[in-house]
Structure 1
Amino acid sequence: MASRYWAVSLPVQDSATALWNTLQEQISKNSFDTPLYRFNIPNLRVGTLDSLLALSDDLLKSNSFVEGVSHKIRRQIEDLERVSGVESSSLTVDGVPVDSYLTRFVWDDAKYPVVSTLREIVDGIHSQVSKIEDDLKVRVAEYNNVRSQLNVINRKQSGSLAVRDLSNLVKPEDIVTSEHLVTLLSVVPKYSQKDWLASYETLTNYVVPRSSKKLHEDNEYALYTVTLFGRVADNFRTAAREKGFQIRDFEYSSEAHESRKEDLERLVQDQDRMRSSLLQWCYTSYGEVFSAWMHFCAVRVFSESILRYGLPPSFLACVLAPSTKSEKKVRSILEQLSDGRNSTYWKSEDEVGGMAALGGDSDSHPYVSFTINLV
């Protein structure tokens, strides 16, 4: 699949069929590695010249918007597939691969009636894609909200002992709670463990001797218990802090532990469900946006061809996918076949005193041409 195509149109002097045959022959002879396809565009309602000129001013901006939404959904699909660990899927439009949809393009009159004006078609496409983009933002925000909640929980479970959730590390038998006694949890820097064991009994009065037990250790800290009279707990906290020991607030509750466990399982299930739903929505929406984009490209080729070549419509529209090394050769072929009708007015700015192609790409040519980047 090519990732970059040219949509072009050439002025027809006598016969579109004869021009197409000549183009095929020239491409085959001089740039045989360049795929070439007809871009079948119906006769659309031209309207007035003023309306066409006004529309041309908006085409480039609208194209950037529609193309941008298409790429945004594609990137979202790639991210979701990578996170899900699923094999990357071939994106389709109504079951047809996107590149085939472009190269075998057929106008959908049910969605975009040819009796509508060009402005109505363009505005309809813009409105359709805007709604899909808004829906994408809402769905992604909901999914990211669940991911953020899970990330917070995971950080608490995987961070250092200074910040992580301790409920998975502390067992009921580690905690002594009575009318007078309490058990505190102290986070001790690894290099200060000897200092802790030598000093904790004397940080305040009424500390139970030899009551400290190490529960867990990570790369930075160790977690110790200490049992003492509840009425001196505040004094102990202050003295411990002065020596660089952090007393973590903790109250063991089997109900709270189970509740946190259930919340985590629910969030994991919600994340998986929302990721799957979002991925399926993106597959469908990408096809809708891509179809809208290709119809927009057809409108763009049609309107720019009328402005370039005049009325009645008489041009050959096609799609090519030249390799980088073949670009100059293909440009030369297209220029030769379009020479002789208005071509003088559509040379580059260096060749003709500053005149640029109306509504076209920054590079001017004696024919309509713009690039379609699929990725």
Structure 2
Amino acid sequence: MPSDAAYWLVSAPLKNGDDNDLFRSIKTVVTDNTLIGGLELPSLKAGTLSSLLTLSDALPKHDAYFTSVVAKLLDTIKSLAAGSAQSQSQSASQSQSQSDKDKLESYARINDLPPTQYLIPHSGARQGWTWDAARWGQDGKVIDVVEALVKEMNSIDSIQKQKVQGYNLAKGSLAGMQRKKMGNLSTKSLVGIVSKEDVVVDSEYLETLLVAVPNNLVRDWKEKYERLTTMVVPRSSSEITKDDEYTLFNVTVFKKVKDEYLHKCREHKFLAREFAFDDEAEQRQQQEMEEASAEEKELWTDLLRLSRTNFSEAYQLLVHLKVVRLYVESVLRYGLPADYSAIVLQPDSKTSLKTLKSLSSYFQFLASKERGTGKKASGTGGNNDEVAGEWGAVMEQEYYDFVLFEVPKVVT
């Protein structure tokens, strides 16, 4: 059964040559809470049966790719919007949550319209979705149209990946800087914590080491630091600062025993920290942080703008590809000339099964004698194995008496 979390694109042969008949008829058989609009099928050149069958076999792969690109774009928009919300108010109120949802819905639009209005702009009238003839032509070869759609989607996907990668690098760099200022004394940057008075500077023989000592080992440190190796300056260790897990001490040793002293620290579970005092380090670190933050914000803005544009474009490409699939399947199912009518429905989740049954009942006149009441194609009758050949997979697809394809809804 088609999903109620999707729009349904439906096509069938014209009755009495009236393109409006399908819309009027279906509107009378579906429930009132099912949105329905017209759908324009292009007058494309179908080509040979063999080329159509080949295309029909390739279209599901293109469809899956297009759908995945649209989904990734929507995920990117959601991620960027969530990042914006977290960097602003941390309020968990219902009104704030609704505001965030409204903001996301304003980002995920198609031609500045909500997806439903793009597909069903006038639910109560015949006017509905129209094929973009200016971009994709109205009477070109169907295979050329597909190639153009795929090329455009590939371009969007490639550009998007590059921008996402650039933003992620900047975001990761900023996060790394922020982590250095956070955490406990075993990992965080000591710039701004250790002052010039805490270390011996510019000595030919002496060097001050900084050691993060677990709080439960502070007594051990005080008792042992002078005797871990020889050539340790007596009473040279003092507490600089502490947090919930570690206490930071300094200790002055002769440079010649530095490596041995560090080794002894590790043996006693004292964590030596690499640090070289620099008068300008704090100012430089702050400047780097500000520059990284500004770059991340700029790239965030650019990526959000691009993602919104690409999402709109990609969703339109997906819909056009679905319509091409609708056209190709209609030609394979009903033959030429391509006199078909199409509609788009948004089924209600509570009545979608009833809607499907209503459609199946209405389109019973399309059921072929070869298929009887079954739901699978069986070729042209007789021995299916002889007819299907390499197209067996295509001809054994599950389908209804009418042609139906789904376009995923945008869930924000």
Q: Is this a same-fold pair by TM over 0.5?
A: yes
**1:88 corresponds to which residue?**
104
Residue 221 of structure 1 pairs with residue 246 of structure 2: yes
Flag the 1:170–1:361 CA change in 2: closer, same or farther, 3 A: farther
Q: Deviations over 1:78-122 (max 9, x none)?
A: 100110126324222322222211123111111001232000101
What does 1:225-374 align with in structure 2 at a 5 Å threshold? Answer: 225-345=250-370, 363-374=398-409
Write the distance in 2 (CA, Å) between the matches of 1:347 and 1:123: 37
Q: Deviations over 1:148-194 (max 9, x none)?
A: 22232233332332333222321112112234433211121111101
**1:48 corresponds to which residue?**
48
Residue 158 of structure 1 pairs with residue 182 of structure 2: yes
Flag the 1:203–1:333 CA change in 2: closer, same or farther, 3 A: closer
Flag the 1:361–1:138 CA change in 2: closer, same or farther, 3 A: farther
Code of the aligned partner of 2:182:
S
Code of the aligned partner of 1:101:
Y
Write the distance in 2 (CA, Å) between the matches of 1:55 and 1:309: 17
Flag the 1:345–1:124 CA change in 2: closer, same or farther, 3 A: farther
Identify the range of structure 1 (308-317 vs 177-186) with the bigger mean alpha-carbon deviation.
177-186
Aligned pair partner of 2:116 in 89, 96, 99: 99
Residue 112 of structure 1 pairs with residue 136 of structure 2: yes
**1:35 corresponds to which residue?**
35
**2:9 corresponds to which residue?**
7
- TM-fit CA distance, 1:231: 4.1
**2:156 corresponds to which residue?**
132
- TM-fit CA distance, 1:206: 4.4
- TM-fit CA distance, 1:12: 2.7
Identify the range of structure 1 (87-96 vs 298-307) with the bigger mean alpha-carbon deviation.
87-96
Flag the 1:232–1:69 CA change in 2: closer, same or farther, 3 A: closer
User: Does the residue aligned with 2:366 lie in a helix, a strand or coil?
Assistant: coil
User: Does the residue aligned with 1:110 lie in a helix, a strand or coil?
Assistant: helix
- TM-fit CA distance, 1:19: 3.7
Flag the 1:292–1:238 CA change in 2: closer, same or farther, 3 A: closer
What does 1:160-179 align with in structure 2 at a 5 Å threshold? Answer: 160-177=184-201, 178-179=203-204
Alignment: residue pair count: 371
Flag the 1:350–1:19 CA change in 2: closer, same or farther, 3 A: closer
Q: Deviations over 1:340-368 (max 9, x none)?
A: 23444556757876989986995421110
RMSD of equivalent CA atoms? 2.7
Q: Percent identity?
A: 30
Write the distance in 2 (CA, Å) between the matches of 1:313 and 1:302: 8
Write the distance in 2 (CA, Å) between the matches of 1:303 and 1:242: 73
Task: Give the TM-score normalised by the residue count of structure 1.
Answer: 0.89
Identify the range of structure 1 (160-169 vs 185-194) with the bigger mean alpha-carbon deviation.
160-169
Flag the 1:286–1:51 CA change in 2: closer, same or farther, 3 A: same
Are the aligned partners of 2:378 and 2:395 in contact in 1 as well (CA < 8 Å)?
Answer: no
- TM-fit CA distance, 1:270: 0.8
Aligned pair partner of 2:222 in 177, 194, 197: 197
Task: Give the TM-score normalised by the residue count of structure 2.
Answer: 0.82
Write the distance in 1 (CA, Å) between the matches of 2:50 and 2:373: 25
**1:58 corresponds to which residue?**
58
Write the distance in 2 (CA, Å) between the matches of 1:46 and 1:350: 25
Flag the 1:96–1:325 CA change in 2: closer, same or farther, 3 A: closer
Runs of 5+ consecutive residues of structure 2 not aligned to the other structure: 86-99, 121-127
